[in-house]
Amino acid sequence: MATQVSAAEKEGIPPKSENEARARIEAATRREAFKEGIAGLWERKKELVQKKTQRTRMVQYLNKKASMAPERPDEVLTRSTFGPTSLLETGVVLDPLRFKRAEEARVRHEAITERKAEARRDALTQLYVAAGDFIVDEHDLEEHVNRVFAEPSEAAKLSPPRNIWDAPLGPITVAETKASMFTGQSGSDVKGSSYEKTESHKTTIRQKSVAEVLTGGRL
């Protein structure tokens, strides 16, 4: 702590000894250092206050500028549309093209229904045609198996095949039957004249024919 100026120094009385002179010099040095320190702290305080004031004014200016600035595009595009006004709007907006779309849907539905009905009629017709060959009891099954798997006789070898073992080709189709009616040939001749088959292929056709006969349906 700095020492105050003595009364003798104020009156200009010289020091009485060498120690007193040295003490006066040291006291004066401390007072000068203390004075410079106080002055430095005061300048530092004024600088800090000035910087704080400038920073506060800058923050206030930026806040005011931000509050008066228009909305950013991202805020406009992401802003929620729900609010008191929209909550009160409970009515349903009518589609101006509703009648046109309903008519198109009706036409599509009628077309789908017609296709389904036609497919059902075709299926019933095929079922009606195929019902004549259905096996409904054990007697019909035994008779059909005996006829299909009967051993060919010598006379039968010279005539058109009558059972599955004699058939060199697959079953005669309706188209081939119609062709034989117009050409005068048998169904087997029409089928045989269309293409040639190997023994393995003939065996595969025979097996398929047997399976179709036993199951009563096409494979």
Tell me the DSSP string of 157-197.
HHSPP-STTT-SS-PPPHHHHHHHHHHS--HHHHHHHH---
Residue 216, H or E segment: none
Q: Are 164 and 188 in contact (CB under 8 A)?
A: no
Q: Which residue has 């008779």 as its token pair?
A: 143
Please write the tens of the pLDDT for every residue from 38-96: 999 999 999 999 999 999 999 999 999 988 988 888 877 777 765 555 556 677 788 89
CA distance 209 to 201: 12
Tens of pLDDT, residues 159-177: 555 555 555 555 556 666 5
> What's the pLDDT score for residue 81?
63
- Contact of 212 with 171, CB cutoff 8 Å: yes
Report how far residue 98's alpha carbon sits from residue 95's, in angstroms, rounded to the nearest whole number.
Answer: 5
Which pTM value belongs to this model? 0.28
Residue 5 DSSP label:
P
Q: How confident is the model at residue 99 (pLDDT cuts 50, 70, 90)?
A: very high
pLDDT classification of 2: cutoffs 50, 70, 90: low
Structure tokens at 110: 């009628």
Residue 58 identity (one-letter amino acid) = M
**Would you give the DSSP letter of residue 184?**
S
pLDDT average, residue stretch 91-110 = 91
Answer for the pair 26, 1: CB distance below 8 angstroms, yes or no. Answer: no
